[in-house]
Structure 1
């Protein structure tokens, strides 16, 4: 028998080059909160029966910080969605929050949050891929 499981990672600190301003081209501390929701055995026998959070945590602190600068936190949220849904086919919903720690003297952190399900994310990826293909074709015509 399966059950709905939520795996919660709360305020994991990583370093990311993200933001619109020149000083944000260098990596800055960012908190990441992620909730994975999926179906897995109600009484698992071993780690294979569980939604394993360790690969996601490892990626967030070791691989993701090596990626190039991007101006928008929204882009970074979508990168977490990509990794989380690719991680385990049992994951059906993902919530992500990204919070910059040094952007306001009035707040401890400022950030964004979004939740999506596997179907919505698949459609968004397909739409982005189609848009990128159209841009490539337009560039090829101009050249």
Structure 2
């Protein structure tokens, strides 16, 4: 029996609702200037012990600041799908307790007749590591250990 199987894991979700930021995203010329975006996220966390200190948690303030800083600093991304993946990649890289996530990235001014449009990305840490390994050219068997 694996020793970690006997220890129950603790799971929790961090919810982010309507985080507002500015960035440059889109395929059209007028989207190359800064525009508003809105982010909703559910960040599923797991650890082997109940968090006792902020270092053991997913610090949602730090997570939100990280997203806003990235969005503000990135020069331009054509596809909102790619930008959503870049944002979750930052989260998986920085927060080891992040097990899986759903991130919705809205562009409020993208379609005049809609309140907002966007994309929703569902990603597990396992899927993220496989994607990262694929980008690095690693064989599939090494992807889970990247």
TM-score of the pair, normalised by structure 1: 0.83
**Corresponding residue SS for 2:41:** strand
Q: Structure 1 25/58 Cα, relative in aligned 2: closer, same or farther at 3 Å? A: same
User: 1:103 & 1:49 partners in 2: Cα distance?
Assistant: 38
Q: Structure 1 63/70 Cα, relative in aligned 2: closer, same or farther at 3 Å? A: closer
Judge conservation of contact 1:41–1:50 (CA < 8 Å) in 2.
no
User: 1:66 & 1:28 partners in 2: Cα distance?
Assistant: 13
Judge conservation of contact 2:85–2:121 (CA < 8 Å) in 1.
no
Partner of 1:32: 39
Matches for 1:85-124 after TM superposition, within 5 Å: 85-124=92-131
User: 1:83 & 1:64 partners in 2: Cα distance?
Assistant: 11
**Corresponding residue SS for 1:84:** helix
User: 1:69 & 1:102 partners in 2: Cα distance?
Assistant: 17
Q: Structure 1 43/123 Cα, relative in aligned 2: closer, same or farther at 3 Å? A: closer
Q: 4+ residue runs of structure 1 moved beyond 3 angstroms? A: 40-44
- Structure 1 gap segments, 5+ residues each: 132-143
Q: Which has the higher helix share?
A: 1
Judge conservation of contact 1:6–1:35 (CA < 8 Å) in 2.
yes
Please give the root-mean-square deviation of Cα atoms over the aligned residues, in Å. Answer: 1.9
User: 2:136 & 2:47 partners in 1: Cα distance?
Assistant: 31
User: 1:45 & 1:53 partners in 2: Cα distance?
Assistant: 15
Aligned residues: 131
